[in-house]
Amino acid sequence: MLEYHKSIATSNDSHTKEAVSLVESYPRVPLTVDCVIFGFDEKALKVLVIKSDLAQYTGKYSLLGAHVKSNEDLANAAHRVLLERTGMKDVYLEQVHSFGRPDRHPGGRVVTTVYASLLNVKHHALSITDHELNWHHVDQITEMAFDHKEILDTCVRWLQKRIQEHPLAFNLLPKKFSLRQLQNVYEAILNSKMDRRNFRKKFAAMGYLIDTNEMEVHVTHRPGKLYTFDFEGYEQRKKNGIGIDF
């Protein structure tokens, strides 16, 4: 019995040794994550950027990034960056793409994996504002450090596609929202105007909006109804292939 256990252990050890020495033979590369945090404020799509650290890019905007630690999961690294740079917690992030051109960083080869999110500017106060961290209108950013403009453009396209198939918009609206607020989100992100009646019909038909029987208050026009999004019903029906199709 002892023999048996020992042979298993030995066998595992030799397997591990083989695997370890294989991995040790690989070249190692500096790895970063960058976060593209889209925010929505009133009627405009914004993105969270800082002024670049590097003298080379003085005055240019840069995404929120940092190196990945030796034993850190990529998604964890992205959440850590966000916490360290902005003080934000519990932000839903999704991986978009990895960028690995050898010359993308002037300091040498750096591969970066990009995560993106969409949230409400008003829900997430910026508790840290080092490096002039701030929200900027997406379409007013024309130049950035590194290949960050290219990354931003990729993420804008990703977001436009994503919001038409997933209930991203509801992460950034208040729990109770009016149809006007919802429509503003879609119009800002897709950069287009939509017909109010058709917009309402489409969302009503999906069946994920729950009427709260409450109304807007203190608005300078006829108050609108407030709705909540039926996350539970959405998750249920998503399993059967029925989701958001805008």
Partner DNA sequence: GCAAAAGTGTTGTCCTTACACCCATGC
Partner DNA sequence: GCATGGGTGTAAGGACAACACTTTTGC
Regarding 122 and contact with DNA (CB under 7 A), the answer is: no
Contact flag: residue 28 with DNA (CB under 7 A): no
Q: Which x/- pattern over 64-103 shows residues binding DNA (rule: CB under 7 A)? A: ----------------------------------------
Cα 111 to Cα 8, 94, 163, distances in angstroms: 39, 18, 27
Q: Are 191 and 216 in contact (CB under 8 A)?
A: no
How many Cβ atoms are within 10 Å of 211's Cβ, its own excluded?
Answer: 10
Smallest distance, a second copy to C-beta of residue 107, A? 3
**Of 21-29, 45-53, 153-161, 198-206: span binding DNA (CB under 7 A):** 198-206
CB of 68 to a second copy, least distance (A): 7
Size of the site for DNA (CB under 7 A): 22
- Taking alpha carbons only, the member of 144, 126, 115 closest to residue 37 is 115
Among 17, 122, 201, 238, the residue binding DNA under the rule CB under 7 A is 201
Structure tokens at 152: 């931003």
Helix, strand, or coil here: 106? coil
Minimum distance from CB of 60 to a second copy (Å)? 13
CB 110 within 8 A of CB 151: no
Does 202 bind DNA (CB under 7 A)? Our answer is: yes
Task: Answer yes or no whether residue 182 interacts with DNA by CB under 7 A.
Answer: no
Q: Is 193 in the site for DNA (CB under 7 A)?
A: no
Q: Does 219 bind DNA (CB under 7 A)?
A: yes
Beta bridge partners of 47: 38, 136
In the complex, the smallest distance separating the C-beta of residue 226 from DNA, rounded to whole angstroms, is 8
As given in the structure block, the two tokens for residue 246 are 């805008």
Tokens of 244: 């958001």
The token duo for 89 is 């917690």
Give per-residue burial for 3-18: e unless 16+ CB within 10 Å, then b.
Answer: eeeeeeeeeeeeeeee
Q: Report the interface residues with a second copy, using CB under 8 A.
A: 14-16, 18-32, 53-56, 67-75, 95, 97-98, 100-102, 105-111, 113
> Is 213 near DNA (CB under 7 A)?
no
Q: Where along the sequence are the contacts to DNA (CB under 7 A)?
A: 178-180, 195-198, 200-202, 205, 215, 217-225, 245
